[in-house]
Amino acid sequence: MRLFAAFAIPEDIREEIAAWWTAARVHLESWGWRSIPPENWHITLAFYGDVPGAGLNALAEALETEAQLAAPFALTTRGLGVFPTATRPRVFWLGIEEQREPKRLARFARACMRALEAAGKRGGKRREQKQPFVGHLTLARLSGEPFPMEMSVLEDLPAPPTLAWTADELLLYASRLHPEGARYRVLERFPLLGGEA
Residues that are catalytic? 42, 136
Of the candidates 173, 187, 196, 167, the one whose C-alpha atom is nearest the C-alpha of residue 49 is 173
Cα-only R_g, the chain:
17
Burial of 87 (0-12, 13-18, 19+ CB in 10 A): exposed
First vs last C-alpha separation in the chain: 33
- Amino acid identity of 25? R
**Please, what is the Cα angle at 29 between 158 and 137, to 5 degrees?**
60
